[in-house]
Structure 1
Amino acid sequence: MDKTLSTPGEAVADIPDGASLAVGGFGLCGVPMELISALLDRGTTGLHVVSNNCGVDDHGLGVLLREGRIARVTASYVGENKEFARRYLAGELEVELVPQGTLAERLRAGGCGIPAFYTPAGVGTQVADGGLPWRYGPDGGVLVASPPREIREFDGRPYVLEEAVRTDFGLVHAARADRHGNLVFDKSARNFNPLAAMAARVTVAQAEEVVERLDPDEVHLPGIFVDRVVAVGSVAKPIEKRTVLPGGHR
């Protein structure tokens, strides 16, 4: 089955307002920027995003957030995005912060058909007990707080129940793809991309190179999880924080 499309705009054309999206990337690494930009150009709004973070002010999911296109974020941290922090604290954005490993497993579970699982992460904190602010009011009070989670003991140790994540669409970035949707990721750019692809009902992959067929031994994510592929060529890969030794020596 040939899953290739011509442009990012065509690949995201049917994503409606209010859709839920699982988006790959970690910081600015492995972010499907061309697909995000295509959504920005289409004017799609009211999005519910599940991603490790929300980019920065001028890159990644930050460009959608800046234009007020995102209504809710499920993520591991705010990061360097000042607009994310401002909107959250001003009550303009609902935010569910999740321990990073738990978020990864919630996405993976969604892709594997596992409805929920128990984890020790968060036991004894507001993650398990409830009360984490999801949405603030204009006066700074908490309008929506996280609910308490079920706790169960295994071998004398408490664990918290976490539910899997499933989204309407997934947006991911790959180094290489074939026309059947098999994907290869480049080093650390693999990060949350396979998990976002697995958790989505319809997954759109942008790839720097699309070939006729990949060797099965080099495939990182099989095409069964991917519905659409679009070639984007070489893409910008900004560095969030550049750190060098004094004097510029390595």
Structure 2
Amino acid sequence: MEKIYKDARAALEGVVFDGMTIMAGGFGLCGIPENLIAALREIGVKDLTVISNNCGVDDFGLGILLKNRQIKKMVSSYVGENKEFERQYLSGELELEFNPQGTLAERIRAGGAGIPGFYTKTGVGTMIAEGKEHKEFSGETYILETGLVADLSIVKAWKGDPQGNLVYRKTARNFNPMMATAGKVTIAEVEEIVPLGSLNPDCIHTPGIYVHRLIKGEFEKRIEQRTVRQRETA
């Protein structure tokens, strides 16, 4: 099975449709599938439900889909860097399903593992628990959270081989490995495609069985917030 595609748009062909659910890896702007996101904007697919820790910034990452009114609903943990997100949410244009960050990560991991739900103490007694099943274990109250799956997962890795085995680099690993397991179709973009057999099997983070399509991307790698101090003079 040929998994390598010439570019992001070609990799998305025949996969995307209006109203679909997409998982997008990354944390802030670290490890985001920026080429695939840009291709989604070009294709113009709309009414998307996007599962991602955050929604990029106003002019980069998932923020460009939000600005283009292609996202109907976000399932997220943190959205504080995006003014357009705030505007759309407060005006009722955007649906939001807020999750504690650890709960979001476990919902994705559970979905990829075929686990329909799990109980957690996180959120008990808060708005997070409203409308959810409560159950006691050893005298403690827990709430039921459901696993998450998506029609499409888009992830970004450091290296990949022709079979789709992936290696992530440092903190760019973040949500990417678990999202790769939870998509009905998973497309990965990588900085380098290496020959088959050149990756140490013990160092592979995502086995190729989870990856359906693969592209080599070009990356801008923006810094989300740059904080500097004035140069000290002698």
The answer to whether 1:224 aligns with 2:209 is yes
**One-letter amino acid of the structure 2 residue matched with residue 242 of structure 1:** R
Question: What is the TM-score normalised by the length of structure 2?
Answer: 0.95
| Residue matched to 1:81 | 82
The answer to whether 1:215 aligns with 2:200 is yes
**What secondary structure is seen at the aligned counterpart in 2 of 1:105?**
helix
Identity of aligned pairs, percent? 52
1:6 CA drift (Å): 1.0
| Residue matched to 2:68 | 67
Counterpart-to-counterpart distance in 1, 2:210 and 2:136? 34
| Residue matched to 1:190 | 173
Distance of aligned partners of 1:153 and 1:12 in 2 relative to their CA distance in 1, 3 Å threshold = same
Counterpart-to-counterpart distance in 2, 1:183 and 1:248? 43
| Residue matched to 1:2 | 2
1:2 CA drift (Å): 3.2
**One-letter amino acid of the structure 2 residue matched with residue 47 of structure 1:** L
For residues 97-144 of structure 1, the C-alpha deviation after alignment (integer angstroms, 9 at most, x for no partner) is: 10000000000000001110001100010111x2xxxxxxxxxxxxxx
| Residue matched to 1:236 | 220
1:196 CA drift (Å): 1.4
The answer to whether 1:176 aligns with 2:177 is no
1:212 CA drift (Å): 2.0
Moved more, 223-232 or 102-111: 223-232
Counterpart-to-counterpart distance in 2, 1:231 and 1:78? 29
**What secondary structure is seen at the aligned counterpart in 1 of 2:231?**
helix
Unpaired segments of 5 or more residues in structure 2? none
**One-letter amino acid of the structure 1 residue matched with residue 226 of structure 2:** R
Unpaired segments of 5 or more residues in structure 1? 131-147
Over the residues paired in the alignment, what is the CA RMSD in angstroms?
1.3
**One-letter amino acid of the structure 2 residue matched with residue 17 of structure 1:** D
Structure 1 stretches of 4+ with a deviation exceeding 4 A read: none
| Residue matched to 1:49 | 50
Which of 139, 153, 156 in structure 1 is aligned with 2:139? 156
